[in-house]
Structure 1
């Protein structure tokens, strides 16, 4: 029996064209998929790669933290 040695070349960030990055960012920003779904769908290995693309190339403002509802700051307990 001959075992075949299949080597899978890991993709680096240099493999992704600007057009590909922009297409993934557009899909995530439109709500077609989450960034984690995009990673799985396109085989993107880095856990934060898509997030970096969103911050660099996306149209959303990442400079301000998200405001949570006032209920989360309430000290009252529900009845």
Structure 2
């Protein structure tokens, strides 16, 4: 397909846009749609800028805070409705009880 045909077919007015696109993607095998997916999967990701990394980390922090609040609410409901204590035992109390069992 020439760039004129691509312009006419897709209604693109700028010829340089079509020429750049054909130069970039014209050599690929377009017979199978999975070839574009594999090309993207094989390409290494560009390293994030510090601002992008900070934004990503802030999003992860917000998600983890929401999860923590959710699990705290679940523990409260379990305590009030079912009387089950789901609090984590302290390591020091576990080791003391373990030592007592061993000595007896």
Structure 1 length as normaliser, TM-score? 0.28
Q: Which has the higher contact order (CA 8 A, sep 6+)?
A: 1
Higher Rg: 2
> Which one has a larger percent helix, Structure 1 or Structure 2?
2
